[in-house]
Amino acid sequence: MNFKIAVIPGDGIGPEIVGTSLKVLDKIAEKYDHVFDYTEVLAGGAAIDACDTPLPQETVDICLASDAVLLGALGGPKWDNVPGDKRPEAGLLALRKSLGLYANLRPAILFDELKASCPLKPEIIGNGLDIMVVRELTGGIYFGEKGRDGENAAWDIMKYTRPEVLRIARKAFDIAMKRNKKVTNVDKANVLEVSRFWRSCVEEVAKDYPEVELNHLYVDNAAMQLVINPKQFDVIVTGNLFGDILSDEASMITGSIGMLPSASMADGKFGMFEPIHGSAPDIANQNKANPIATIVSVAMMLRYSLDLTKEANAIDAAVQKTLAQGYRTGDIFSDGMTLVGTIEMGQKIIENL
Amino acid sequence: MNFKIAVIPGDGIGPEIVGTSLKVLDKIAEKYDHVFDYTEVLAGGAAIDACDTPLPQETVDICLASDAVLLGALGGPKWDNVPGDKRPEAGLLALRKSLGLYANLRPAILFDELKASCPLKPEIIGNGLDIMVVRELTGGIYFGEKGRDGENAAWDIMKYTRPEVLRIARKAFDIAMKRNKKVTNVDKANVLEVSRFWRSCVEEVAKDYPEVELNHLYVDNAAMQLVINPKQFDVIVTGNLFGDILSDEASMITGSIGMLPSASMADGKFGMFEPIHGSAPDIANQNKANPIATIVSVAMMLRYSLDLTKEANAIDAAVQKTLAQGYRTGDIFSDGMTLVGTIEMGQKIIENL
Ligand SMILES: CC(C)[C@H](C(=O)O)[C@@H](O)C(=O)O
Ligand SMILES: CC(C)[C@H](C(=O)O)[C@@H](O)C(=O)O
């Protein structure tokens, strides 16, 4: 089959990890007889440098004309002093909004081979962790009105509408149905009006999923529970800001942040896929970055946007095998393992395909 | 000396832990020849039950006429279905606001004797943890305008004014000067206008403290760093909502949540002191609750509001000694220790005074 993929290498280690991941995808194309048409486009710092805007309209157009988008990582200290609305992050937010990517799926999985890098004690993680954070991505305080009262104050509005909450809640319950049928809603309903509203919408959706167990946690409590008892979680659904904080915390407790992919989905099958980690400018262009998070993001893309389940599974299996063979990039290295660079890690995974 | 203390036992385990803590304070009075005048007042669930409001005006008046306030814990499932503005939490927020308690100090300390309860691996906690979270407590989204757009949406405004940020930043830098001279400001300046404003105000205050090292973290990154590298932190300063989340996470990584006090300070020396933990209705009235967080909150009260440093140190030392003797309530029990109830724990601490 023939697929159009928009590719945003981005900044820092982005181009390296994306380059390596596309080699893996090339191998899938060859082996399973598909054609992946890549169109490389600019966003973030690279776009600021080239076109003085973090998100050229051309990028949006090409993404929308594609079956899926693969993104490396955006941003870096180079653009720290650019004004707020022109920063790489502004480009990322605009990209999410203009592509309608309202559902951010962030799996926090502990890779068996990497238990040694988990910061939590073994008795807490038990036989592993597998949490799916479903974060609302195009609403809330990220996209609310904002402003200043002269020199004296500044403000942002955290707002959610009914359709926004209903659709993300549906997404979370649909995902839970394919997993362990448990949804934890996280909000701050004891203080925020928007959270009380959010919670009532989630409860409305829950009625359509009688098999799924729903519980509610306040965000402060959720931040604690992730540390003390992460095994209680299956699917977490939450708003944009709380999801930003909790998904990062969840990925960190796995100790596997260089390994974790994410999907940002629109209605239907269209989505953007990227590693959870950042652009790590300190190790850029040194063949040191761990490409695995991006490679498994490619697997997520095959599974969620292109319906190529077999091919996605093949990538995941090749990654597992490569880890089992003892190959490690610097970030996940431990005694007795074989240290490899970005390119070599990609090659080993391709050999295992 | 003669001091007026307003006492809010509160709900759940509140009355037990406050009762035990006041016995400790009685012993201090006797030993050091002070008079503490207690006036018991209502707030939270107890006030809803008795006066149909979570914060009677009389409570505010008596607190304001006192030298300090000691609070147990508020809330519980019994009042979960009370409307938003009449809930125990609303009483707590109104109390903070009407007493002008803008600075919430939440130490996250790992007690040496309790290393076994810390969820993080020993190599991460090293020789201990000692973080002070300074949370803004009377502004931000907790007290912003809020509302609904009919059935279709709801919103809350996160706003900060210059004076609000300047005074909490000053508080944080003053505290850092007495500690390790490092302040980490936590915000979401890559997305929120209010955070960009907040950050610029913090930087302004920093100029008056050339000896203090200031760095900035985004809140998502801070949530990760607390898990992976908590030893980098000395003083954390942040807004109301982020402080709620991060201080709970910080207290949880110590594994000592039943042990941690907090102070909520107004301008000058007036403050309210309470344990960090909640009202734990499931173990209320069973002589099971750990009173130590409340007892060390009393110590904080002596130190911060009443200038009784010697007396405060005596309480802290008696707590340490009691732990070293092996006495433990259920929440911090481990093999080989002696299990005691709320009352017995208080008695042991008094004996050690
Ligand atoms: C870079 C930043 C704007 C972004 C966010 O806050 O959404 C990032 O932290 C993420 O989680 O993807
Ligand atoms: C009970 C709740 C309103 C409160 C808060 O969010 O401030 C609590 O979580 C706290 O941190 O003291």
Nearest to B92 by CA among B67, B72, B107: B72
Q: pTM here?
A: 0.95
Residue B101 beta carbon below 6 angstroms from any ligand 2 atom:
no
Residue B92 beta carbon below 6 angstroms from any ligand 2 atom:
yes
Q: Which ligand is nearest to the CA of B247?
A: 2
Amino acid at A78: K
Q: What's the confidence (pLDDT) of residue B72? A: 98
Q: What's the confidence (pLDDT) of residue A97? A: 97
The reply to whether residue B84 touches residue A152, judged by beta carbons under 8 angstroms, is: no
Q: Are B247 and B141 part of one and the same domain?
A: yes
Residue A72, classed as helix, strand or coil, is strand
Q: Which residues of A touch B197 (CB under 8 A)?
A: 148, 153-154
Phi-psi region of A93 (alpha: psi -120 to 50; beta: other; left: phi over 0): alpha
Q: How far is CA A342 from the centre of its chain?
A: 20
Cα–Cα distance measured from residue A141 to residue B194, given in angstroms and rounded to the nearest whole number: 11
Q: Are A18 and A105 part of one and the same domain?
A: yes
What does DSSP say about strands A146-149 and B2-10: parallel, antiparallel, or unpaired?
unpaired
Q: What's the confidence (pLDDT) of residue B82? A: 86
Q: Are A16 and A108 part of one and the same domain?
A: yes
Binding site members of A for NAD(+): 76-89, 278-290
Q: How far apart are the first and last CA of chain A?
A: 19
Q: If you measure CA to CA, which chain A residue comes closest to B223?
A: A249
Smallest Cα distance from A256 to chain B, Å = 11
Q: Which helix (H) or strand (E) holds B160?
A: strand B153-161
Out of A171, A244, A327, A348, the active site residue is A244
Q: Are B132 and B21 part of one and the same domain?
A: no
Residue A338, classed as helix, strand or coil, is strand
Q: What's the confidence (pLDDT) of residue B18? A: 98
Cα–Cα distance measured from residue A209 to residue A221, given in angstroms and rounded to the nearest whole number: 25
Domain end marker among A254, A285, A316: A254
Q: Which helix (H) or strand (E) holds A238?
A: strand A235-238
Query: Tens-of-pLDDT digits for all 353 residues of chain A?
Result: 899 999 999 999 999 999 999 999 999 999 999 999 999 999 999 999 999 999 999 999 999 999 999 999 999 999 988 887 788 999 999 999 999 999 999 999 998 888 888 999 999 998 889 999 999 999 999 999 999 999 999 999 999 999 999 999 999 999 999 999 999 999 999 899 999 999 999 999 999 999 999 999 999 999 999 999 999 999 999 999 999 999 999 999 988 888 999 999 999 999 999 999 999 999 999 999 999 999 999 999 999 999 999 999 999 999 999 999 999 999 999 899 999 999 999 999 999 99
* Residue that is written with structure tokens 């936590």 in the block: B186
Cα–Cα distance measured from residue B161 to residue B263, given in angstroms and rounded to the nearest whole number: 23
Cα–Cα distance measured from residue A102 to residue A163, given in angstroms and rounded to the nearest whole number: 11
The reply to whether residue B241 touches residue A188, judged by beta carbons under 8 angstroms, is: yes
B97, B136, B185, B246, B250 from B242: Cα distances, Å: 18, 9, 11, 6, 12
Reply yes or no on whether A220 is catalytic: yes
Q: Which helix (H) or strand (E) holds B250?
A: helix B240-254
| Residue A286 in tokens | 């040194």
Q: Are B277 and B322 part of one and the same domain?
A: yes
Q: Are B139 and B229 part of one and the same domain?
A: yes
Q: Which helix (H) or strand (E) holds A166?
A: helix A162-177
Q: Which helix (H) or strand (E) holds B175?
A: helix B162-177
Residue B302, classed as helix, strand or coil, is helix
Q: Are B245 and B270 part of one and the same domain?
A: no
Q: Are A148 and A107 part of one and the same domain?
A: no
Q: Are A53 and A132 part of one and the same domain?
A: no
Q: Are B266 and B249 part of one and the same domain?
A: no
For B6, other C-beta atoms within 10 Å of its C-beta total 25
Q: Are A215 and A203 in contact (CB under 8 A)?
A: no
Cα–Cα distance measured from residue B275 to residue B271, given in angstroms and rounded to the nearest whole number: 13
Cα–Cα distance measured from residue B266 to residue B303, given in angstroms and rounded to the nearest whole number: 15
Most A CBs within 10 Å: which of B238, B249, B279, as the mutation test of the A interface? B249
How many C-alpha atoms does A304 have within 13 Å on its Cβ side? 27
Query: Tens-of-pLDDT digits for all 353 residues of chain B?
Result: 899 999 999 999 999 999 999 999 999 999 999 999 999 999 999 999 999 999 999 999 999 999 999 999 999 999 988 887 788 999 999 999 999 999 999 999 998 888 888 999 999 998 889 999 999 999 999 999 999 999 999 999 999 999 999 999 999 999 999 999 999 999 999 899 999 999 999 999 999 999 999 999 999 999 999 999 999 999 999 999 999 999 999 999 988 888 999 999 999 999 999 999 999 999 999 999 999 999 999 999 999 999 999 999 999 999 999 999 999 999 999 899 999 999 999 999 999 99
Q: In this structure, is residue B110 part of a structural domain?
A: no
Q: Which ligand is nearest to the CA of A221?
A: 2
| Residue B241 in tokens | 């909502």
Q: Whose CA is nearest to atom 6 of ligand 2?
A: B244
Name residues whose C-beta falls within 8 Å of residue B267's C-beta, 6 or more positions apart in sequence.
B100, B102, B167
Out of A142, A160, A304, A327, the active site residue is A142
Q: Whose CA is nearest to atom 7 of ligand 1?
A: A244
Instruction: Give tens-digit pLDDT for A239-279.
Output: 999 999 999 999 999 888 889 999 999 999 999 999 999 99
The 8-class DSSP code of residue B139 comes to S
How many residue pairs from chains A and B have C-beta atoms closer than 8 A? 163
Domain end marker among A211, A233, A254: A254
| Residue A135 in tokens | 């974060």
Residue B249 beta carbon below 6 angstroms from any ligand 2 atom:
no
Residue A224 beta carbon below 6 angstroms from any ligand 2 atom:
no
Per the structure, how many domains does chain B have? 2
Q: Which residues of A touch B155 (CB under 8 A)?
A: 144, 157-160, 193-194
Reply yes or no on whether A188 is catalytic: yes
DSSP per residue over A89-135, as a string?
HHHHHHHHHHTT--EEEEEEE--GGGGGG-SB-HHHHTT--EEEEEE
Domain end marker among B203, B219, B254: B254
Q: Are A218 and A149 part of one and the same domain?
A: yes
Q: Which of A124, A155, A246 sits opposite B119 (nearest CB)?
A: A124
**Burial profile A267-300: b = 16 or more Cβ within 10 angstroms, e = fewer:** eeebbbbbbbbbbbbebbeeebbbbbbbbbbbbb
Strand partners, B149: B153
Q: Are B225 and B172 part of one and the same domain?
A: yes
Residue B16 beta carbon below 6 angstroms from any ligand 2 atom:
no
Return the ligand 2 atom nearest residue A220 CA: 9
Tell me which residue range forms the domain holding A319.
1-113+261-353
Q: In this structure, is residue B290 part of a structural domain?
A: yes
Q: Are A127 and A91 in contact (CB under 8 A)?
A: no
Q: Are B45 and B8 in contact (CB under 8 A)?
A: no
Q: What's the confidence (pLDDT) of residue B133? A: 98
Phi-psi region of A185 (alpha: psi -120 to 50; beta: other; left: phi over 0): beta
What does DSSP say about strands B338-339 and B327-328: parallel, antiparallel, or unpaired?
parallel
- For chain A, state the CA radius of gyration: 20
Helices then strands, each counted (H, E), chain A: 12, 14
How is the beta sheet containing B153-161 ordered, strand by strand?
A146-149, A153-161, B153-161, B146-149
Nearest to A59 by CA among A86, A40, A41, A38: A41
Return the ligand 1 atom nearest residue A89 CA: 3
CATH, residue B138 = 3.40.718.10
The reply to whether residue B121 touches residue A124, judged by beta carbons under 8 angstroms, is: no
